[in-house]
Amino acid sequence: MNIRSILHEAAPVMPVLTIEESELAVPLAEALVAGGMRAVEVTLRTPVAIAAIANIRQALPELIVGAGTVVTPRLMHEVQKAGGQFAVSPGFSTALGAAAQECGLPFLPGVVTASEIQIAMEHGLENLKFFPAEHAGGVKLLSSYASVFADIRFCPTGGIREDNMAHYLELSNVTCVGGSWIAPRDMIAKQNWNSISKRAAKAMSAVNE
């Protein structure tokens, strides 16, 4: 499994999850699977994130589970030990790229500028996270990259919502989008699994329509 195949599995939406309590990880993942999601990104922004990844992987082997906010080689190794299947970072560094290769983890680093894209390309990367999408220039900037970087495919995150995701997905160089609106923190805390399932299903069906 490589990062491009994972992004195609995630298409059109990769839910970005911030999990505060480890016992909520599995029911949250079950709600997303019920809504049609096939891949999720668990951000390493909370103390329980690594345990949440391990719990989801054990309970739902059919779901592709990756880690977001992987900003150090140490975290890359922790994700690999927890059973994470891919790693996402807000930016790119040579050290992170080397750690991903060492761990055998498909890697989706974040970029914004043309120079950052070229550096990633020099390291053999053709699938990149565009972050923070809306603040960095959004659809217009990504559209301008399509002809210059014809082989690069992006997963924009940051400011992606139900009302603007279709504009990104219409671009030829966008494989999928990532966002937290499907399972926001307040819904997770309230264990509102039914609403999360409905949001997931709506995101999947909206693009198909």
Looking at the annotation, which residues are catalytic?
41, 129
How many Å apart are CA 69 and CA 144, to the nearest integer? 27
The number of C-alpha atoms within 13 Å of 118 and in the hemisphere containing its C-beta is 4
How many Å apart are CA 128 and CA 145, to the nearest integer? 12
Write phi, then psi, for 107 (nearest 5 degrees): -125, 130
How many Å apart are CA 178 and CA 155, to the nearest integer? 7
Q: Map residue 79 onto helix, strand or coil.
A: helix
